[in-house]
Amino acid sequence: MLSTESDPTHLRLARSLLPAGDPAAVVADVRGWLADFGRRAYTRVERIRLDRLEGWSEDPRTGDIRHDTGRFFAVEGLRVHNPGGPVTGWDQPIIHQSEIGILGILAKEFDGTMKFLMQAKVEPGNRNGLQLSPTVQATRSNYTRVHQGRAVPYLEYFRNPGSHRVLADVRQSEQGAWFYRKRNRNMVVEPAGDVEVLDGFRWLTLGEIHALLGADDLVNMDARTVLSCLPFAGPGLGAVLGRPRDAEFRAALVRSCSPEAGSLHSTREVLSWLTDARCRSDAEVRRIPLREVKGWVRTEDRIAHEAGLFFSVIGVRVSAGGREVAQWTQPMIEPNGTGIIALLVKNIDGVLHALMHARMEPGFTDTAELAPTVQCIPENHVLVPPSGRPRFLDEVVSAEPGRVRFDTVLSEEGGRFHHALNRYLVVEAEPKIPADDPDFRWVALHQLVSLLGHSHYLSVQARSLVACLHSLLTGGGEGGRATIGPTAGAAGARG
């Protein structure tokens, strides 16, 4: 018997949304579990001088910072020449990590409800220590045991899926502003047999994970990107999810998950627009020795931009229990301020559409990807004239509270970035854009989901926002952050 492409996985996922219960209770429960585990799995992170890193050396010829094994990652230089861009050229340090790691989540049905095995994981860059992470989060250096740590639990489900069911399996990019062509393999695997739950792991429904996503700094970036790759589109979602409380917005969101509901532009048109953006670019990106990077100042402490903008490269010493290795030092990237990452959404003929930006970042494998409507660190724009202000930023910061559907501070990858926080927002707005705007298009959620079956269409920030949009399919409807999360006020003030 041949299989046809129709697959009820999206309905199984929808059912996993339902029994979430009171979001605040879920958050309190998981925070308690994390705190309990944190007493056994502590991490201490201290800043050290960049020239005091152990096991890392500065290449005498290039100035690049490399691990002595040649594995993990390196800090190198990048030279960008972009004659057609708003900034025509710059140099910057960049992380070069060529190996493809695995980010994998195990999924399993219990009494008809699908649950996901999430891990309480410490990452040195996390502001708050433990966050909810995928079942497996491993670089190739990790799992081939370069640093002689313990074996990575559950790894074999992803390295040899064999008889298990693969629900998602796609390589995706990560921050193209900080990584040179980094990619990870995002996988969701439904194993055939029973799964032992180890200490620090826990089965959660999608509804529970989504409640946690509405709280600051609880669901880590790797978990968000893997969840965004779930095949969450298809017909019949409305029947499973029932009549939404906030009828108009949520009904448009549910319809946006169904290809049958249609879209403003066909997917072929959206792809043609992206192809054009990718071909139009004259940008040239060249790896250069870190020593030759212009406009950046290297002290014993850090490598920083001469105007104090963008980010710094710093050093940290990590002492950890409950991780593969007890102590190590490493370079990290520390951004200059909290970013704003926002998706404008709009109900078009009953179907919610998101305003996607064809954004170029120098580290992308393929020139440009679909990115959020707004993605910036406002502090970096203080020196540019008003004409250089990010498009649609004003629509985000001046939105009435009732139109802000999601607003949570989430952190980026804690293994490479130190306190890299972004305020993620979903905002209803009605900006007028020309139908042939070269940089922006309205795209339905089912189109984004179908593109997420392929590599390099959606940036990691856009993928986080897709996970956030999914979390709005059920739940309170008051705009998340006002009710959940103790750090809400602080984050809002920083944004």
**Contact residues: its own copies, CB under 8 A:** 1-5, 7, 100, 161-162, 166, 169-171, 185, 231, 259-269, 271-272, 275-276, 278-279, 348-349, 351, 365-366, 436, 453-455
Between 4 and 387, CB nearer to its own copies: 4
Residues 121, 220 contacting (CB under 8 angstroms) = yes
CB of 169 to its own copies, least distance (A): 4
* CA-based nearest residue to 452, from 368, 373, 374, 370: 370
In the structure encoding, which two tokens stand for residue 365, read together? 């494998």
Residue at token pair 């985000």: 396
| Shortest CB 365 distance to its own copies, Å | 8
| CA distance readout (Å), 417 to 93, 176, 240, 330, 490 | 14, 13, 39, 11, 20
Between CA 258 and CA 19, with CA 426 as vertex, the angle to 5 degrees is: 60
In the block, which residue shows the tokens 């299989």? 3
Residue 2 beta carbon to its own copies: minimum distance, rounded to whole angstroms: 3
Single-letter code of the amino acid located at 259: P
Q: Closest approach of Cβ 267 to its own copies, in Å?
A: 6
Q: Which is nearer to its own copies, 169 or 301 (CB)?
A: 169
Give me the least distance between CB of 120 and its own copies, in Å please.
27
**25 Cβ contact partners less than 8 Å away, ≥ 6 residues apart:** none
Q: Residue 70 or residue 385: which is nearer to its own copies going by CB?
A: 70
Closer residue to its own copies, CB minimum distance, 242 or 453: 453
Question: Whole-angstrom Cα distance, residue 99 to residue 138?
Answer: 11
What is the closest distance, in whole angstroms, from the C-beta atom of residue 166 to its own copies in the complex? 5
Closest separation between CB of residue 334 and its own copies, Å?
30
Smallest separation (angstroms) from its own copies to the CB of 438: 11
CB atoms under 10 Å from CB of 435, counted, come to 8
Residue pair 99/140 in contact (Cβ under 8 Å)? The answer is yes
Q: Taking the C-alpha atoms of 126, 214, 262 and 349 in order, what is their torsion angle to the nearest 10 degrees?
A: -130
Q: Which helix (H) or strand (E) holds 447?
A: helix 445-451
The residue (of 272 and 299) whose beta carbon lies closer to its own copies is: 272
Structure tokens that stand for 343 in this block:
């998706």
Nearer to its own copies, 62 or 365 (CB): 365
**Residue nearer to its own copies on the CB measure, 186 or 464:** 186
Backbone angles phi, psi at 484, to 5 degrees: -120, 140
When the beta carbons of 268 and 432 are compared against its own copies, the nearer one is 268
